[in-house]
Amino acid sequence: MTDDLFARPDPAAPPCPQTGRARFAPGALVSVLTTQPLDRTLDYRAPQAGCAKGDFVEVPLGPRRVLGVVWGAGEGGYDLSRVRPVHRVLDVAPMRDEMRQFLTRAAEYTLTPLPAMLRLATRSPGLGQDVSLRRVYARGAADPDRMTDARARVLAVFDDAPGLSFTMAELAELAGCGASVVRGLVAQGAVEEREAPRDTAYPRLDPDLPGKPLTDDQAPAAAQLTGAVAAGRYGTTMLRGVTGSGKTEVYLEAVAACLRAGRQALVLLPEIALTSEFLSRVEARFGARPAEWHHGVTQTERRRCWKMAAEGGASLVVGARSALFLPFRDLGLIVVDEEHDTSYKQEDGVLYSARDMAVLRASLASAQVVLASATPSLETWANVESGKYRALTLHSRFGDRAMPDMRAIDMRAEDVPPGRWVSPTLRALIADRLEKGEQSLLFLNRRGYAPVTICRACGGMIGCDHCDARMVEHRFLKRLVCHQCGETRPIPAACPSCDVEGKLAPVGPGVERMAEEATALFPEARVEVLSSDMYTSARALKARIEAIAAGDADIVVGTQLVAKGHNFPLLTLVGVIDADLGLQGSDLRAAERTFQLMRQVAGRAGRAERPGAAWLQTFQPDHPVIRAILKGDEDGFWAAEAAERRAAGVPPYGRMAGIVLSSPDVQAVFDLGNRMARADAPLRRVGARLYGPAPAPIARIRGRHRVRLLVKADKSAPLQAALAEWLAQIRIKGDIRLSVDIDPQSFY
C-alpha cells in the first residue's frame, strides 16, 4: 500500500554542517509528508529561508493549508511550474530521524498508512501557534469574603493542581462557571491574574532526593534496572510481582537513573483515573510533578508537553498510550505499567499495541523498557522464554502482607432465590466485615442495571436499531444504552414489538442491580457503585475513589474499573459475583483474561495492615482456570496456557491478522470478502491460511454490516509483506471500510 513511501532513499541534498540534516535551498524541490489521507508524499518548493529534512511545515493543499513534515528531496518528473512553495516552517523542534524511523516501522508493522501515523505524532493542538504571552490565573493569597458554590469550584481546581495556572477558558470549563465568577475572585485577591509565556519547561525533578529504603526483595531488582538504564542501551525487562510488592517503587529507581543520565523517561498507565495517585508519588519521590499527557489534560498543557518533550524541557512524562508518539529529544526509559491491560491495544483508529510499540520505539532510541505487571501477558512470557526479554520477580508483598486468601463458593450448593445473586455464604462474609467496620467489594464486570430487557408478553428482547446488540438498561441514567454504538433512549413503558405495557423485565445482573440487592440485604450499609458510566468526568470519579478509599462506603460494587491499581486500605473482602463470566465465549484469550482479572481484583483486598480474602462465586469450581486462580499457581497456569496455544499455533506462538470489512450494504461486503478470499495467492506463498469471509461476532455496528476474514501464519512467516501484497490488489468501491488488525486482541 504505502511501500513506495518507505523505500524512498534519503535525499541527495547536502547535510547542514550544524544539524547534520539535509538542507534545501530556497526554491529547491522537497517532498512533504502530510497528515492528509493520501497514499504518497507531495512536492513543494522550499520557502524563502530554505528548509531542512524533518522540519514541520504548513503547505497549501487545494484551498487549505495542512500540516506536514519535510520528508526528503522532491521527485520531479512533471510540470515543475505548477509546484507551490511551502507556506512556512513552524517554530517547533524538527522531527528527529529516530522518530521518522519509528513512524515508518510502526506503519509497516501495523499496515497503517504513514499519514495516519504522522497524525498520531502531531496530536497536539496549535503546533503552528507562535510563542507569545497569554493571560493566566493562579491561586492568590487571600480568601474570598463570601463563598459561593461557583467560587468553591474555582478554588477546588487550584487545590487539585497545586502550582498550576489556567487560562480563563480552561478555568471556566474545569469549574463549570462563567468568567464573571473568576473576575470576582481576582478582585478579592483570591485568584491572581498574570501574563505568562507559553510553553515553559516543567520544574526539574531531583533524582537525588532520598527514595524509600528498598527491601531485600526489591533492591536487587532496582539495581538491575538502574544498571541497564545507566548503560544507555536498548533492553526490555519484565518486572513481575503481586499487587503491592513494590513494583512502582522499583521502577521509580529506574526513572531516577534515567534522570541522572540526563535522559527522558516515559511512564504509561492504563487508566487516567490512576494518574493522580501516581503523580503524587512522583512528587514525593522527585520533589516536583512531571508532565502529563492524556485526553483529560487541557489543550494548552498538551501543546506544552509536546513541545517540551521535543526540546528536553520535560524529563518525565506520565501518560496514556498515545504518549508513545511524543517527539522526545532523548528517551532513555519507557515503563509500561500493568502491561497486560487490554486498554493498551488501540481498538479503533490506528490499531497498535502500545506495549509492542514501546519496545520498537525503545530499540530505536537505545532506551530501556520495563513491562510491569502482577499478571504479565502470555506474549511477554513467551518473549522472556525465548530470551528476548529479561525477567525480574518481586516475590512478596511489601511489609509481609499476604496475598489474600482465595476460595471458591460452589453456587451449585447455594440456595439463591431467582433474581438474586449474592449467596448465603457471601452474605455472611459481608455481614462479618460490616460488623468490623471493614469494606467489602462486590465485583461484577457488567455496567448498567441488567444486561438484557425481555418482554414477558411476547418474549422479545429490546435490541439496538443500528447494531447486532441488546440495549442495556441503565437505571441510574434512566435510559437504555447500546454498549456498541452508545445510542440511548428512554426506558419505554410498553414493549416496542407487541405494545403491551408493564411487561418489560430485566434479566441478569449488572452493577446497578447488584447495588440494589446489597442495599436490600444490608439496609444500614453505605453502598456505592464504581462504574465508568456513573461519573461525568475523570475528576469526579477520582474524587469518589479517594473518598471511598478514606472509608466513605461499606460495600463497593464495581466493574473492572476497580481492578486497576487503586488502593483501598480498609478493603478486606472481595466477592466475585460471577467468576465464570469471562470463561464463556470463543475468545482466544478468555482464560488469560479471567486469570488476570481475578488475580488483579483479589489484589484489592488486604493492602493495609488487615489481611484480605477473595471469594469467587462459580458454578464450575473444578474448571482448570478457576483452580489455577484459587491455587495462585501462576507459573503452572502460564505453562498450561502456553502449551495449549503452542499446539494450536495461535499467538504468541503463531501469527494472526484480523480483517474486518464493513458497509451498510450486506451484499457488497460479502462480495468483497469472497473476492479477497479468491485472491489469496500472496498469503499462500508464505504459508499463511485464510479463514472466512464470515459474519463478524457482532455482525452489525452503527448500521454497518461486518464481515471478518482471519489470517493465520507461522511465527516466522513474513506476514506483513504478504498482507500488503494481497491488499494492494484489492480495489474497494463504494462505502466499504476495510480495517486490518495485526495481532488482534479481541474478536468482535
Task: Summarize as ranges the residues that interact with ligand ADP (CB under 6 A).
Answer: 212-215, 218, 241, 243-249, 398
Of 173, 226, 175, 166, the residue nearest 196 (C-alpha): 166
- Binds 218: which of Zn ion, ligand ADP, none (CB < 5-8 Å by kind): ligand ADP
Which is nearest to 538 in space by CA: 294, 273, 298, 292? 273
Report the nearest approach of ligand ADP to the CB of residue 249 (Å).
Answer: 4
How many other CB atoms sit within 10 Å of the CB of residue 400?
Answer: 7
Residue 487, binding choice from Zn ion, ligand ADP, none, Cβ under 5 to 8 Å by partner class:
Zn ion
Closer by beta carbon to ligand ADP, 316 or else 527: 316
Q: Do residues 224 and 328 make contact, with C-beta atoms less than 8 angstroms apart?
A: no
Hey, how many other C-beta atoms are within 10 angstroms of the C-beta on 397?
Answer: 20
Name 188's Cβ contacts closer than 8 Å, sequence gap at least 6: 142, 144, 145
- Residues near 740 by beta carbon (within 8 Å), at least 6 away in sequence: 110, 111, 351, 657, 658, 659, 723, 727
Regarding 488 and contact with Zn ion (CB under 5 A), the answer is no
Among 464, 530, 656, 659, binds Zn ion (CB under 5 A): 464
Which of Zn ion, ligand ADP, none sits in contact with 136, Cβ below 5 to 8 A by type? none
By C-beta, is 30 or 252 nearer to ligand ADP?
252
What is the nearest approach in angstroms of ligand ADP to the Cβ of residue 628?
21
Count of residues of this chain found to bind Zn ion when the rule CB under 5 A is applied: 7
Give, as one character, the DSSP assignment of residue 332. E
CB 214 within 8 A of CB 222: yes
- DSSP state at residue 151: H
Q: Which of Zn ion, ligand ADP, none is residue 467 near (CB under 5 to 8 Å by kind)?
A: Zn ion
CB of 471 to Zn ion, least distance (A): 8
Q: Give the burial string for 363-381 (b: 16+ CB within 10 Å, else e).
A: bbbbbbbbbbbbbbbbbbb
* Among the listed residues 38, 384, 461, 485, the single contact to Zn ion using CB under 5 A: 485
Q: Cβ distance 731 to 668 under 8 Å?
A: no
Positions 493 through 552 that interact with Zn ion (CB under 5 A): none
Contacts of 534 (CB under 8 A, 6+ apart): 476
**Closest approach of Cβ 248 to ligand ADP, in Å?**
3
Maximum C-alpha span of the chain? 85
Q: Which does 534 bind (CB under 5 to 8 A by kind): ligand ADP, Zn ion, none?
A: none
Q: Residue 101 binds which entry of ligand ADP, Zn ion, none, with Cβ cut-offs from 5 to 8 Å by kind?
A: none
Query: 42 Cβ partners below 8 Å, 6+ apart?
Result: 31, 32, 34, 59, 61, 68
Q: Is 467 in the site for Zn ion (CB under 5 A)?
A: yes
Which residue in 390, 407, 466, 623 binds Zn ion (CB under 5 A)?
A: 466
Task: Report the nearest approach of ligand ADP to the CB of residue 10 (Å).
Answer: 44
**Segment 623-629 long-range contacts (CB within 8 Å, at least 24 positions apart):** 623/580, 623/583, 625/583, 625/591, 625/594, 625/595, 626/408, 626/579, 626/580, 626/583, 628/595, 629/406, 629/579, 629/594, 629/595, 629/598, 629/599
Candidates 311, 330, 487, 552; binder of Zn ion (CB under 5 A) is: 487
Grid cell at residue 26 = 530556497
Distance in Å, CB of 577 to ligand ADP, minimum: 24
Minimum CB distance to ligand ADP, residue 218 (Å): 6
With contacts defined by CB under 5 A, name the span among 103-111, 483-491, 588-596, 648-656 that binds Zn ion: 483-491
Q: Which stretch binds Zn ion (CB under 5 A): 339-347, 397-405, 460-468, 720-728?
A: 460-468
CB 521 within 8 A of CB 503: no
Nearer to ligand ADP, 52 or 374 (CB): 374
Nearer to Zn ion, 208 or 465 (CB): 465
Q: Which is nearer to ligand ADP, 243 or 353 (CB)?
A: 243
Residues in contact with Zn ion by the rule CB under 5 A: 464, 466-467, 482, 484-485, 487
